[in-house]
Amino acid sequence: MADTIIFHVDVNSAFLAWEASYRIRTLGESEDIRNFPSVIGGDETKRHGIVLAKSIPAKRFGVTTGEPLASARKKCPGLKTYAPNFSLYVEKSGELISLLGRYAPVVEQFSIDEAFCDFTGTTGLYGPPVEFAFKLKDMIRDELGFTVNIGISSNKLLAKMASDFEKPDKVHTLFPHEIREKMWPLPVSDLLYVGRSSIRTLHNLDIFTIGDLANADVAILKQHLKKHGEDMWKSANGLDDALVRDTLPANKGYGNSITVGADVTDRETALTIILSLCETIGARLRADHAYISVVSVTIVDSSFHRTSHQVTLPASTDITEKIYEAACGLFTSLWDGEPLRLLGVHTSRATSENFVQYDMFNTKDADKLSRLNLAIDQIRNRYGDEAVKRARFIDNEHDHMTGGLGKAKRNKGITP
């Protein structure tokens, strides 16, 4: 049996790289914004007035992703700022996934600028994995006009860790036999899915590097961090059995996310935002006569640590309340109390068939909710989205139907 080979492909400074590629290749500009201090930044009147992507020259001035644009300009007085064009970025992301699909038997889009590729069993076609990774990296640069990092390993966790090594335009490996040398010396904060509160707890346990965590007593970790402690220990030892799953075709996944105006620090606000995301998803599902059976929730804390979980439903559904119920359970299992800057809900395994698990207790409620959802859709379609909203959103600062980076991105069903 062939050894498992997983690539993690990560676009370098994605938004800025895609903006630069568009300006040079489509608009015919001669100046490359990647070659001088520049950033992609959002609306400064809102939370989006932050650095979304930065050039390497800007980075040399100390500009960091996520900091306010005003702060970035103080560090770099000559900094040039460009407004984000999310429709363009969705298009460029699609071009990347399309190119990867020409070579990888299985491609899973992990975010708008990242993808996992399963190249297991392809050595006879492409040659040694590392050599092919360099060819693939250069192919992306030459055909699409932007650079990527590629991490290679035998599982998704290690491949993603590898792609985060030195940037840009690099290929790195992190196979199990390389963990001790390449990963264990890194600070524990570099490990995927380790948030600030977990870091504080680990430091109190004299755990400062990934190696410290890998060699810690699992029982002690579980005592202080519950199941998340065991999960982190497994990650520190490079253990991951998650499969690379095919990217769903158009209209097979429906997702929304939002970067909030101020950090979310309480459960009620978080669940209100999640409900608003589910409202939009449910409406889109019903408009497409589609039903989903998998719900996932993604959160990003104020330190930009991303975590996500998913659940398979007992029956396919297009009912907003059912999606929200599943999302609430996932959020509860994910959130450790750290302030949140992004929340996302995504659904998958969409089908035009509604396979219902009937039982004497829930069928009547499901039918009633289905009819109610359709009635609300009809009113909104005729009089606008604001015609009907839940009482929870009356005099609430959060929109009752929201999602992601804007309409262009929501229509693609991509969660950042």
Catalytic residue numbers?
Answer: 114
**Residue corresponding to tokens 């030892």:** 237
Q: Helices 267-287 & 363-383, crossing angle to 10 degrees?
A: 80
Among candidate residues 410, 415, 390, the one with its CA nearest the CA of residue 400: 390
Q: How many CB atoms lie within 10 A of CB 40?
A: 25
CB-hemisphere CA count at 13 Å for 103? 22
326 burial level (CB within 10 Å; 0-12, 13-18, 19+) = buried
Q: Are 248 and 33 in contact (CB under 8 A)?
A: no
